[in-house]
Amino acid sequence: MTAETLIQVLASGVATGCVYGLVALSFVLIYKATGAVSFMQGELLMLGAFVVLALHEAAGLPLAAAVVLGIAALAAFGALLERTVLRRTLGPAHLTALLLTFGLGMVMRGTVGAVPAASHAMHRLPLPFAGESVQWGGVALAAEHLAVIAATGLLAGALTLFFRRTRAGLALRACSENSDIAALMGVSVAGMHTLAWSLGAGLAAVAGVLLAPVTFVHPNMGLVALKAFPAAVLGGMASLPGALAGGVFLGVVEALAGLVLPEGAKDVVPYLLMMAVLLLFPGGFAAGLRGRP
The DSSP element (H or E) to which 141 belongs, if any, is strand 139-142
Q: How large a percentage of the chain has pLDDT more than 70?
A: 94
> Residue 293 — pLDDT band, cuts 50, 70, 90?
very low
* pLDDT tens profile 85-126: 888 776 655 778 888 899 999 999 999 988 887 777 778 887
**Per-residue confidence (pLDDT) for residue 80, from 0 to 100:** 95
User: Cα–Cα–Cα angle for 36, 204, 159, nearest 5°?
Assistant: 85
Question: How buried is residue 57: exposed, middle or buried, by Cβ count under 10 Å (0-12/13-18/19+)?
Answer: middle
pLDDT single digits (tens) 190-200:
899 999 999 99
Q: Check whether 186 has a pLDDT greater than 60.
A: yes
The pLDDT, as a whole number, for residue 1 is: 67
Residues 1 and 3: their CA atoms lie apart, in Å, by 7
- pLDDT score for 45: 94
Q: What is the mean pLDDT of residues 27-52?
A: 90
Element (H, E) at 218: none
Confidence of residue 139 (pLDDT cuts 50, 70, 90): confident
pLDDT band at 272 (very low <50, low <70, confident <90, very high): confident
Q: What's the confidence (pLDDT) of residue 107?
A: 93
**pLDDT score for 49:** 93
Residue 287: its pLDDT value, please?
61
pLDDT value of position 90: 63
Mean pLDDT within 271-287: 75
pLDDT value at 51 more than 90: yes
pLDDT at 202 over 90: yes
Output 176 or 48, whichever has higher pLDDT.
48
Q: What residues form DSSP beta bridges with 123?
A: 217
